[in-house]
Amino acid sequence: MVFLFSIGLFLTVMCLVVLGINAWVLIDTLLSTEVPPSIPHPMKLRILYYIFHLMVTWGTIFEKLRICSMPRFFQTIQDAMATKRNHNVAVTDLRFGEVPVRLFQPKATSSSPRRGILFYHGGGAVAGSLDYFHSLCSFLAQETDSVLLAVGYRKLPGYCHPFAIQDCVNASIHFLKSPKAYGVDPSRVVVCGESLGGTAAAVVTQTLLGRPDLPPIRAQVLIYPILQAINLQLPSHLQNQNIPLLTTCIMFTFMFRYLAIDSSWKDAILTGANVPPDTWMKYRKWLDSDNIPQRFRDKFQQPKLPAPFNKAAYLETKHMQDPGFSPLLADNEVIAQLPEALLVSMHWDILRDDTLLYKKRLEDQGVPVTWYNVEDGFHGCIALFDNKTFSFPCSWSLINAIVSFTKGI
C-alpha cells in the first residue's frame, strides 16, 4: 500500500513538474516574442514557436540530466513529425564518403540532360535533416524538372564547425566530378541553401571558383542565409530580435553550439569587442548600416560600434570572422567571379540585412543579382510550405520565386 502511494505521489509530482515547465515556456513565449500584424495567422506562428521553444527547453533539461543532448532530442522529435512526400520523383539514398546524400530525379523521361540542383538544408546544425526537408526537395525537383541532390551534412551533437560546411563542399565536388552520371547538364548546376545551408551555398560557390577539374557553378540561390558574424547590430538584428522563429536568443543558442563558443562571450560578440580594430576598419565599408536601403532603417539609430577591443574574446571567436563562416567578407577578387544569384530575404527576419549587404557587394562587383524580399516572411518558413496545420502564404511566395528563377537557368 505504501509502495503504491509512493508511486502515485511520484507520478503526481512529475505531472506537476511537466505542466509547470510547459506553462513557463508558454508564458515566456507570450511575453518575450512579437508577431508583426503584417504576418498572416499570428496565432499559428505563436503556437509554432511555442512548440519550437518547448523542444529546445526539454532538450536542454534532458541534456543537463544526461539523458540525451538537446540537438539529438530536437532532431528526433523533428524527424518524427516530418512528412516525406514524393512529388512524382524517384528518390535514392547514397553516401559520398562519410556524407549521406539524397538524390531526387523526375520520373518523366527527358530527351536531354537536366538542370542540377545542389541543396543544403538549414537548421543551424542543430535542427534540419534530409527527412525534414524531403518534401521540399522533392517538390523543387519536380516543379523545376531538375535533378536535385540534397546533402545531409554532419551536425551537432557530434560535429561542430567546420564539419557541416566542409561536408557540403566535399559532397558538391563529388557530384560535380561526374554530373552526367546523374543525368545532369554540367553547364546548368545551381547551388541552393537556406539559413546555414545558405551560408554553405555561398561558401561552396566561392571555394570552387576556378577549379579546372570541375564545371563552373551556373547560379546560386541563397535563402535568408547567414553571411557575416561581425556586425550583429544591423537594423534587422535590432528590429526583429524577438520575432519568431529565429529570435536573438535562439540564434545565439544555436550559434554558440555550432561554433563551440562559450556563451559568456555573448556581450563581446554583440558589441564587436571581439573584432580587432584593423579588421573592423577593413570590413566596415561592407558591413556598415549605411549600405542598407533607407526603408529598412526607419526609426533606426546606429549603435556605437565597436566596443573596446577584447583580445581574449577575439582568440575564442576568431573563426567567426573567417570567410568560411562569413562569406560576405571574401575579397573583391573572389566576389567579382561569382555566378548570378537569387537572394531571398524575409522582411521579419533577424538575418534580413545580411542578404541586403551581400546584394550590394555582388552588384558593386558586377554580379547579376535577382533579389526577392518576402514582405510577410519570417525565418524558417520555407519548410512549412506543405504543412497543413502550419502553412503560411510567405512559404509559397518564397517557393514560387525559387522555382521561377531556377527554371530560367
Q: So what's the pLDDT on residue 11?
A: 66
My answer on whether 37 and 178 are in the same domain is no
Catalytic residues: 195, 349, 379
The arithmetic mean of pLDDT across residues 326-330, rounded, is 97
The arithmetic mean of pLDDT across residues 26-48, rounded, is 93
Adjacent-strand bridge partners of 344: 223, 372
My answer on whether 121 and 215 are in the same domain is yes
My answer on whether 134 and 68 are in the same domain is no
Looking at residue 357, which CATH number applies to its domain? 3.40.50.1820
Indicate if the pLDDT at residue 13 is higher than 90. no
My answer on whether 71 and 113 are in the same domain is no
Indicate if the pLDDT at residue 236 is higher than 70. yes
In tens, the pLDDT along 51-81 reads 999 999 999 999 999 999 999 999 999 998 8
The arithmetic mean of pLDDT across residues 229-253, rounded, is 95
My answer on whether 30 and 104 are in the same domain is no
Q: So what's the pLDDT on residue 85?
A: 84
Which pLDDT band holds residue 9 (cuts at 50, 70, 90)? low
**How confident is the prediction for the chain on average, in pLDDT?**
94
Q: So what's the pLDDT on residue 350?
A: 97
Place of cell 555566378: 339
My answer on whether 97 and 35 are in the same domain is no
Q: So what's the pLDDT on residue 394?
A: 96
Which pLDDT band holds residue 333 (cuts at 50, 70, 90)? very high
Please identify, among 79, 113, 129, the residue that sits at the C-terminal boundary of a domain.
79
Q: So what's the pLDDT on residue 297?
A: 84
CA 271/CA 44 separation, integer angstroms = 34
My answer on whether 33 and 110 are in the same domain is no
Provide the percentage of residues in the chain whose pLDDT is more than 70: 96
The arithmetic mean of pLDDT across residues 302-329, rounded, is 92
Greater model confidence, 2 or 151: 151
b/e map 352-361, b = 16+ CB within 10 Å: bbbbbbbbbb
Which pLDDT band holds residue 12 (cuts at 50, 70, 90)? confident
My answer on whether 204 and 301 are in the same domain is yes
Q: So what's the pLDDT on residue 87?
A: 82
Which pLDDT band holds residue 24 (cuts at 50, 70, 90)? very high
My answer on whether 161 and 21 are in the same domain is no
The arithmetic mean of pLDDT across residues 210-231, rounded, is 97
Indicate if the pLDDT at residue 30 is higher than 80. yes
Split into its structural domains, the chain has a count of 2
Please identify, among 61, 79, 97, the residue that sits at the C-terminal boundary of a domain.
79
b/e map 150-168, b = 16+ CB within 10 Å: bbbbebbbebbbbbbbbbb
My answer on whether 12 and 100 are in the same domain is no
The domain of 35 spans 2-79
In tens, the pLDDT along 357-405 reads 999 999 999 999 999 999 999 999 999 998 888 989 999 999 999 999 9
My answer on whether 376 and 348 are in the same domain is yes
Which pLDDT band holds residue 316 (cuts at 50, 70, 90)? very high
Indicate if the pLDDT at residue 5 is higher than 90. no
CA 192/CA 201 separation, integer angstroms = 6
Indicate if the pLDDT at residue 18 is higher than 90. no
My answer on whether 295 and 376 are in the same domain is yes
pTM confidence score: 0.95
Indicate if the pLDDT at residue 4 is higher than 70. no
Q: So what's the pLDDT on residue 388?
A: 84
- The CB density around residue 304, as the number of other CB atoms within 10 Å, is 9
Please identify, among 55, 79, 103, the residue that sits at the C-terminal boundary of a domain.
79
Which pLDDT band holds residue 262 (cuts at 50, 70, 90)? very high
Q: Sign (positive/negative) of CA torsion 287, 293, 295, 299?
A: positive
CB 232 within 8 A of CB 331: no
CA 121/CA 146 separation, integer angstroms = 17
